[in-house]
Amino acid sequence: MIRLTTENTQNAVAKCRQLKPRVKFIKDRLFVVYSANNSNVYHVRFDVRNGDKFGECECRASERGLICYHLVAGATANIYRQSLKLAK
């Protein structure tokens, strides 16, 4: 899993805003992100350890340790979901 920081997610956030991929919640911190460019779908997972956020995607960029826009899309949905839970 890759540690997510404000710095290393910047480019992916910009790309995510541009492409606006669809995200579907599966369970817990698992999401499916639909590629904006083709028919691929990627599972993205998240974890929190000692207050740090970690994420993992199935695409090639993530395999190389890069933050992809799928991760950011999933993370955005995850944060939104957590905030809904807290609001209850």
Q: Which parts of this chain interact with Zn ion (CB under 5 A)?
A: 42, 57, 59, 62, 68, 70
Least distance CB 42 / Zn ion (angstroms) = 5
Residue 81 C-beta: closest distance to Zn ion, Å: 19
3-state secondary structure of 67: coil
Residues 11, 51: Cα–Cα separation, whole Å: 22
Residue with tokens 């899309």: 73
- Whose Cβ is closer to Zn ion: residue 64's or residue 85's? 64
Looking at the Cβ atoms of 43 and 81, the one nearer to Zn ion is: 43
Which stretch of DSSP H or E encloses residue 28?
none
